[in-house]
Homo-oligomer: A and B are copies of this chain.
Amino acid sequence: MSNNEERQLDLKDIRSEIDVIDKELVDLFEKRMKLCRDVAEFKFKTGKAVLDRERENEKLATLTSLAKDDFSKHGIEELFTQIMSMSRKYQYRLLASKGLNDTLEFNFVDRLWKDDVKVAYQGIPGAYSHEALRSYFGEYVEEYNVPTWRKAMEDIRDGRADYAVLPIENSQAGAVGDVYDLLMEFENYIVKYVDIKINHALLGVKGANLDEVKTVYSHPQAIMQSREFLEKYDWQEVAQSNTAVAAKKVSELNDKSKVAIASIKNADIYGLEVLAEHINTSDVNTTRFIILSRSKICKKDANKILISFEVAHESGSLYGALSHIIYNDVNMTKIESRPIPNKKWQYRFFVEIEGKVDSPGVVNALRGLNAETINMRILGNY
């Protein structure tokens, strides 16, 4: 028998021993979960909180003292932190099944109401926000523009608008941090999202041609996204607050040496000519816009939920929070962190999960997160 075969046999033997141990572990685990059901019943009858940090800490101290060495001690701590966390999640689930999940009062609707509504967007006609608005609400909705995202949030809060359209993320540039901050500041809800493909064109006044251009106006991000195209020229770049603002400016300046980078729709809106199409580098550049409402409504076919929470400033708290999502078989599609205003280097997390706020797994996950994180909020089911 070769040395290698001997080792193969060794590995097989060790693994059969592990298999025996694992079966015993399964037995014990199932017995333990049954007892947890009894504890849950007790807690339900007495209104006692599921999380009893003191009892858990005592328990960890006792069990780790049984360990034969330091490494083992650490492993036991990890194992039982996990087992107790599973027990808590089991208890949240039992409590949820008794109807104690009354916090998620969303109003489920077949479709969003689009008739006789007013919709706000930030920027001016031709902005990508405007395109997002049109793509969802169509051409005939009552729309109006506001100078800032904040104003849009205020307008829906105060009833001046029924919906607002705001960018939340770009597939290249990432999250729009300020919009996340506004989601926290206001109690408006995301009811829908719209993805708009970003496709920049180079626009100039009638008669302009590439050889005469000296200055290009656009939003800094659009300039960056068109870098490969711009490198062929030696133009001065002037930052504008918005691509549509750049197009409008070029139209007003009426100077053949000045061009704008903006979506091709701006050519019609501001009477400009298209000097070059599709000048952005990436083909998959897409911006996601959210549609917000002050009503806590949720379309019946919604399948994404955005939640936010803070965690204690200690090792493992974020991990512990995420375990509620994973354990309930809920898919996590995104995680963002934002600084908490006026708290230096402390963060709030934004997590997007898949599902509906009334599906059992989601209810359990949210219940657990609500009990064990700080300031948990549901920002919309869309």
Q: Which of B15, B322, B323, B341 contacts A282 (CB 8 A)?
A: B341
Q: Is A98 an interface residue (CB 8 A)?
A: no
Which chain A residues numbered 334 to 369 have a C-beta less than 8 Å away from chain B?
Answer: 334-339, 341-345, 347
- Name the segment of A154-162, A257-265, A324-332, A372-380 touching the other chain: A324-332
Chain B residues, Cβ within 8 Å of A173: 177-178, 339
Within 8 A of B (CB), among A10-56: 10-11, 14-15, 17-19, 21-26, 28-33, 35-36, 38-39, 42, 45-46
Q: Does A343 contact B32, Cβ atoms closer than 8 Å?
A: no
- CA distance in complex: A339, B288 (Å): 13
- A90 at the binding interface (Cβ < 8 Å): yes
Q: Any chain B CB within 8 A of the CB of A316? A: yes
List chain B residues, Cβ under 8 A from A283.
342
Q: Please tell me if A86 contacts chain B, counting CB pairs below 8 Å.
A: yes
Per-residue CB proximity of A40-81 to B under 8 Å, as 1/0? Answer: 001001100000000000010011001110011011101110
Q: Is A1 an interface residue (CB 8 A)?
A: no
A343 CB, nearest partner CB in chain B, Å: 7
Tell me whether A318 is interfacial, beta carbon within 8 Å.
Answer: yes
A14 touches B28 (CB 8 A): no
Give the contacts of A217-249 with B (CB-CB under 8 A): 220, 224, 239-241
- Residue A135 is within 8 A (CB to CB) of chain B in the complex: no
- Say how far A185's CB is from chain B's closest CB, in angstroms: 13
Contact with B along A165-184 (1 / 0, CB 8 A): 00001111111011000000
**Within the assembled complex, what's the spacing in Å between the Cα atoms of A11 and B91?**
14
Asked if A371 lies at the interface with its beta carbon under 8 angstroms from chain B, I say no
- Among residues of B, the one whose C-beta sits closest to the C-beta of A341 is B172
A11 touching B284 in the complex, CB below 8 Å, given contacts A171-B344, A335-B335: no
Copies in the complex: 2
Contact A347 B329 (CB under 8 A): no
**Given the complex of chains A and B, what is the CA–CA distance between A300 and B201 in angstroms?**
51
Q: Nearest B residue to A322 by beta-carbon distance?
A: B319
In the complex, the answer to whether B171 meets A345 with C-beta atoms within 8 Å is yes
| Contact among B67, B329, B336 with A26 in the assembled complex (CB-CB below 8 Å) | B67
Q: Do residues A68 and B284 form an inter-chain contact, with CB atoms below 8 A?
A: no
Q: Is the CB of B315 within 8 A of A332?
A: yes
A82 at the interface (CB under 8 A from B): yes
Q: In the complex, what distance in Å separates the CA atom of A238 from the CA atom of B59?
A: 61
Tell yes or no: A83 within 8 A of B by CB: yes
Q: Evaluate contact between A347 and B334: CB separation under 8 angstroms.
A: yes
Q: Are A28 and B24 CB-contacts (below 8 A) given A42-B14, A284-B342?
A: yes
Q: Which of B11, B24, B178, B315 contacts A331 (CB 8 A)?
A: B315
Q: Could you say which of B224, B329, B339 contacts A172, with CB atoms under 8 Å apart?
A: B339
A286 in the interface, Cβ–Cβ < 8 Å? yes
Among candidates B21, B26, B323, residue contacting A319 with C-beta atoms closer than 8 Å: B323
How distant is the Cα of A40 from the Cα of B156 in the complex, in angstroms? 60
Spell out A's residues near B (CB within 8 Å). 4, 7, 10-11, 14-15, 17-19, 21-26, 28-33, 35-36, 38-39, 42, 45-46, 59, 62-63, 66-68, 71-72, 74-76, 78-80, 82-83, 86, 90, 93, 169-175, 177-178, 220, 224, 239-241, 282-284, 286, 315-316, 318-319, 322-323, 325-327, 329-339, 341-345, 347
The 10 closest A-B pairs by CB, nearest first: A315-B331, A284-B344, A174-B177, A171-B344, A319-B326, A316-B326, A14-B38, A21-B32, A319-B322, A26-B66
